[in-house]
Amino acid sequence: MFKFLEPNRIFSITSRAPKYVLVLFVIVLTIGLIESLILSPEDYKQGHSVRIMYVHVPAAWITLGIFSTITLLSIFGYIFKLRNFFLISKSFAPSGFIFNLIALVTGSIWGKPTWGTWWAWDARITSMLILALFYLIYLLAWRIYENKDQVYKITSIITILGIINVPITKYSVDWWNTLHQPASINILSKSSIHSSMLFPLIIMTAAFALFSVLIFLMKYNTELIKIKNKGLDRL
């Protein structure tokens, strides 16, 4: 019933995937850079500094998306005793942490010409920093604890606590008076951002998502090789 969870079967699929994902990533990233750096207009207030948005915003979206994903996988993995879900979560976490740092750094760079300061204890900035700490604690837990049952339980608790911060990060600009402007992109209603800026934003988000998948596949394949070297037939 669970033959699809056999390391050899999984590795036969995931080992071939990175090269295709890499090619697709390069193509999408190239289109995204052309759109965001050359074709998209400068902002009438911020000038060319607004182009940082095409890195900052997608990085923030990917950060929130990955943490939400590893939380769901950890919960289902713990409830149904599916070790592969924890392995997927563990493999996704590094890219989420990387994009969290990118979001914080680019936000700081963007904040200097926009707000006149590199850092402010703004609600969204602070919540993103807290999320980065949850990512870091999650990654450290996998290194500190050797007992699998123990690390599964601890990482699940970390993600459950951390997921509370995700909606706070998303809706902080609506709930409190912050330096950030209200959301310009809405799925359920018309977005206030112009299509000439929205299109490159979507393309760059797709490129970052592909890069996340690429990092995940490399990490996941490494974990599968470790399992195969231990002589285990099942996850």
* Chain mean pLDDT for the chain: 89
Q: Percentage of residues in the chain with pLDDT exceeding 70?
A: 88
- Written in H, E and C, the secondary structure of the chain is CCHHHCHHHHHHHHCCHHHHHHHHHHHHHHHHHHHHHHHCCCECCCEHHHHHHHHHHHHHHHHHHHHHHHHHHHHHHHHHCCHHHHHHHHHHHHHHHHHHHHHHHHHHHHHHHHHCCCCCCCHHHHHHHHHHHHHHHHHHHHHHCCCHHHHHHHHHHHHHHHHCHHHHHHHHHHHCCCCCCCCCCCCCCCCCCCHHHHHHHHHHHHHHHHHHHHHHHHHHHHHHHHHHHCCCCCC
Statement: residue 119 has pLDDT above 90: no
User: Which pLDDT score is estimated for 195?
Assistant: 85
pLDDT band for 1, please (50, 70, 90 cuts).
Answer: very low
Statement: residue 153 has pLDDT above 90: yes
Once rounded to an integer, what is the mean pLDDT over residues 149-153? 95
User: Which pLDDT score is estimated for 99?
Assistant: 98
Q: What is the pLDDT of residues 194-226, one digit of tens each?
A: 788 899 999 999 999 999 999 999 999 999 998
pLDDT band for 232, please (50, 70, 90 cuts).
Answer: low
Q: What is the pLDDT of residues 28-50, one digit of tens each?
A: 999 999 999 999 988 777 777 88
User: Which pLDDT score is estimated for 13?
Assistant: 86
Q: What is the pLDDT of residues 58-77, one digit of tens each?
A: 999 999 999 999 999 999 99
Residue of 175 and 2 predicted with greater confidence: 175
Other C-beta atoms closer than 10 Å to the C-beta of 71 total: 23
Statement: residue 158 has pLDDT above 90: yes
User: Which pLDDT score is estimated for 5?
Assistant: 57
